Structure 1
Amino acid sequence: MHGSWKLVLPVGFVLYSLPLFLRVNSTSDYIIDEEFHIPQGLAFCRKQFDVWDSKITTFPGLYLIALVLQPFNSCTVTGLRLLSLVGAGVNILLLYKIRRRTLAGTGGNAYAAHEAITLSVLPPLYFFSHLYYTDTLALTMVLLFYNYWQQEAHLPAAVFGAASVLMRQTNIVWVCMCCGITILDTLVQQCVKTRPGNKKQIRLLGSDLWLQLLGSPQLLCNCILSILGKCCFYASIILPFIGFICINGSIVVGDKSAHEATLHLPQIFYFAIFAAGFGISNTLRQLRTVLTLLRRHLLLTLLATLLIAAVVHFNTVVHPYLLADNRHYTFYVWSRLYGRFWWFRYAMTPLYVLALAILCCGLRHMPDSFKLMFPLALLLVLCFQRLLELRYFLVPYVLFRLNTRPTRKGFAEWMELGVHLLLNVATFYVYFTKEFYWQNYRTPQRIIW
């Protein structure tokens, strides 16, 4: 049955989505940021590489993929958008393969397929699968990278890691995260080889490992050689990227004015709410444990709440786009709640504490290396973004959800899938039925994620 899922999932996803795709495709030539992406994609598809819109802030990976359309004479708006839909079909296959591996036999192939379907119809992700945006294909490259990295196939992993960075620069963080995990795991593995009878005593966060490394030059040398053998491919991506930042002065290419790096710690709180809200199965399964822990450590819970409230007070940053662009749901959340009632952002702090605890408990079964590197990667990829944009949460959420604690499929998993599907129905209903006009646009504007 494993082999049949590999065919049924991508083909079924594309066929299920195709009528909706055609309906979305007929509404408008350009949908918000497609105003920049589509002309640039069409230019590259026609091999006009001297054409470049200075307002584009990413590397040209998304537009280079458009070259696959050129032999089929399909350099059209529909052709470009179809690339995202096909990418989403590839994603569901990769989600299945990765989740099947992380489930480690729990629940069988059908459970892994269920999880893959649930993630593929994640409402913000599913919507952008119908548009020519970077999100879907960037996720494809990240998942290809992560899939090969999990199998310790480091050369192909590095190839797709580089491709993911070409799609979106912030994906360098995930390459660095996996490289860091590889380094830390290698240290543990090398130490285990020298002490086969005490495997359980050697932990990354324990003193034994570091005392053993510092006390044995030969062991340290073996670790360094092993790390170089595994991570040299990732270094060939990371080191040139560091050089690019030094020369460019920023991670952003093109117009940097709207994407200046700004410390914005509340982004991690917004992400925690996003992950707890959409990751319903993990939330329901961890809720009792989390509430018990918070109640048992009441003083720490209170201190964490006060600390988060202080961060919210001193570090809440509001991007002008968030206040001006009424084509996104975040505009309405901010204008009607956060921006309207001064007390609302503080009233959310207990929910932030709860959501962060759920996030941590959902990954408590993971190795120490992952538990160290994933939060660091989250901070780097989210907390220097000034704009509150749900699309920035998609890759970290998918990686989080793929690694949540394996368990038997039950009501929680069906509820998560059902909520995703209902939200998709509501999202597309709003998109198709609510129109308004901007003064400098002739075509009607619509609301999207």
Structure 2
Amino acid sequence: MLVFTDAIKTTAQVSYPVYWSWNEKITTPPGTYILAMSAFCGRERWLNSVLWPLGFVGAIRFRRLFTQSQLTSTAVLVMYLPVLMQSSLLFYTDLCSLITVLWALSFSNALTSALFFSFSVLTRQTNIVWAAAYGIYHLFRQIDPHCSKVIYVTIVSSLLRLSPLALLGGAFVLFFILNDYSIVLGDHSAHHPTAHFMQLYYLLVFMCFSAAPYMLLSGNVLRAVRTFLCRPLRSLMWCVCITLCVYAFTMDHPYLLADNRHFTFYIWRWWFHRHWACKYILVPLYVIAAEAIAQSISHVARSVVIIYVVATAAVLVPARLLEPRYFIIPFVLWRLSVREKRFGIVVLELIYQVCVNSLVLYLFLDKPFEWVTEPGVKQRFMW
């Protein structure tokens, strides 16, 4: 069974209160483990098998907020995202976290959304940011700046409608205070908040890589390259700004270089640590990726894009660790909002996802290795 020992031990500990304890290696709340214990204890892998269809429906619901085209195919596509797929095969919290966020965002009723967001926070603390984004969007959506006489009445009535989310926010603040002013459970020392702005640029590359067929065949990348070349002053300005960001905010986490099971270990070792200049070579790529992503959602309201960018930054920037699983929700929300009516591109993208998933699964199953410090214990490649 493809599960993680630490997660299973935690589930067992949560399942039996008489043996209640917390594994310090687990830094997220036990929402997924609590959900698994009642019907799936001992068969935890089944939980994600049951959750996957709910994620598919949630993806369709969320996509309907932006377009009616390619609902089913795009929902299948995002659920086959390689990082999400492997974490779903293992006993990770990512699938449950994604599902609850998708369902919460797809409801217009604040109480229903607050219930889904409440459970989403029990699977991953940073999901409180998406709850805040939802509340801010619906608050400003009700305000008409041209009606200054009733604007205060509108704000008050909107806040009352959003009171379930306010209660959730208040509960989270209380948790933050009681948890020694930290959102991290378990080992706090390895997860201090920091200003890791490079996470946003890593996300852009991740998005372009994960949706490569769409980005290439839709013409977004080509248009982005053309914009980069045809507007040299603008491009130079962005390159200078990002170069300064690379210089000041490129950082590695102790976990990143200590665990050679993860693909990010090899990316960092083979590229970023190869030569001091390697990290700067990617600056034009960051600019082009940002332009391509921006073009892909040019139809989305600017207010929604701003809220999305700010929320994504609030989730990613404080995290020092480069972890592809942190990119799952930002990627899925972006990809579901993209309008692509050509079914052939979606099919090619799905084939691409299947190929990447097959390669990852092959490395995981057929290429195990052992650490000198743990002879006889098989270690496996993963995201």
Given the two structures, how large is their TM-score scaled by the length of structure 2? 0.94
1:138 and 2:138 are equivalent in the alignment:
no
CA distance in 1, matches of 2:366, 2:20: 39
Cα shift at 1:51: 2.7
Which residue is equivalent to 2:203? 271
Which of 299, 311, 314 in structure 1 is aligned with 2:233? Answer: 299
1:116 and 2:52 are equivalent in the alignment:
no
Q: Deviations over 1:38-77 (max 9, x none)?
A: 11112323454723223321222122112331xxxx521x
CA distance change for structure 1 residues 48 and 37 in 2, over 3 Å: closer, same or farther?
farther
Which residue is equivalent to 2:337? 403
Cα shift at 1:408: 1.4
Which of 328, 336, 342 in structure 1 is aligned with 2:276? Answer: 342
How do residues 275-290 of structure 1 correspond to structure 2 at under 5 angstroms?
A: 275-280=207-212, 282-284=214-216, 285=218, 286-290=220-224
Provide the aligned C-alpha RMSD in A.
1.8
Question: Equivalent residue of 2:379, what SS?
Answer: coil
CA distance in 2, matches of 1:82, 1:47: 23
CA distance in 1, matches of 2:29, 2:47: 18
Check conservation: 1:46, 1:67, Cα contact below 8 A.
no
Q: Which has the greater radius of gyration? A: 1
Check conservation: 1:282, 1:362, Cα contact below 8 A.
no
Once the two structures are aligned, what percentage of the paired residues are identical? 31
How do residues 29-428 of structure 1 correspond to structure 2 at under 5 angstroms?
A: 34-48=4-18, 50-69=20-39, 74-76=40-42, 79-104=43-68, 106=69, 111-148=70-107, 152-187=108-143, 191=144, 209=145, 212=146, 216=148, 218-247=149-178, 248-280=180-212, 282-284=214-216, 285=218, 286-404=220-338, 406-428=339-361
Check conservation: 2:14, 2:33, Cα contact below 8 A.
yes
Check conservation: 2:51, 2:95, Cα contact below 8 A.
yes
Cα shift at 1:37: 1.2
CA distance in 1, matches of 2:67, 2:255: 40
Question: Equivalent residue of 1:129, what SS?
Answer: helix
Cα shift at 1:117: 1.2
CA distance in 2, matches of 1:169, 1:392: 12
Q: Deviations over 1:399-429 (max 9, x none)?
A: 111112x231244222211110100111111
Cα shift at 1:432: 1.1
CA distance in 1, matches of 2:130, 2:329: 9
Check conservation: 1:124, 1:390, Cα contact below 8 A.
yes
Check conservation: 2:221, 2:289, Cα contact below 8 A.
no
CA distance change for structure 1 residues 368 and 244 in 2, over 3 Å: closer, same or farther?
same
Which residue is equivalent to 1:15? none
CA distance in 2, matches of 1:446, 1:276: 26
Cα shift at 1:282: 4.6
Question: Equivalent residue of 1:309, what SS?
Answer: helix
Greater helix share, 1 or 2? 1
Question: Equivalent residue of 2:280, what SS?
Answer: helix
Check conservation: 1:45, 1:66, Cα contact below 8 A.
no
Letter in 1 for 2:50: V
Q: Whose relative contact order is higher, 1 or 2, with alpha carbons under 8 Å and at least 6 apart?
A: 2
Q: Can you give the 5+ residue segments of structure 2 that lack an aligned partner in the other structure?
A: none
Check conservation: 1:280, 1:415, Cα contact below 8 A.
no
Question: Equivalent residue of 1:322, what SS?
Answer: coil
Higher mean displacement: 48-57 or 350-359 = 48-57
CA distance in 2, matches of 1:385, 1:265: 9
Given the two structures, how large is their TM-score scaled by the length of structure 1? 0.80
CA distance in 1, matches of 2:19, 2:293: 44
Question: Equivalent residue of 1:334, what SS?
Answer: helix
Check conservation: 1:142, 1:160, Cα contact below 8 A.
yes
Q: Deviations over 1:209-255 (max 9, x none)?
A: 3xx35xx3x31123213321332111111122123223421111221
Letter in 2 for 1:270: Y
CA distance change for structure 1 residues 171 and 323 in 2, over 3 Å: closer, same or farther?
same
Q: Deviations over 1:155-191 (max 9, x none)?
A: 111000010001000111111111111112111xxx2
Letter in 1 for 2:262: H
CA distance change for structure 1 residues 309 and 336 in 2, over 3 Å: closer, same or farther?
same
Q: Can you give the 5+ residue segments of structure 1 that lack an aligned partner in the other structure?
A: 1-24, 192-208
Check conservation: 2:200, 2:317, Cα contact below 8 A.
yes
Runs of 4+ in 1 over 6 A off after TM superposition: none
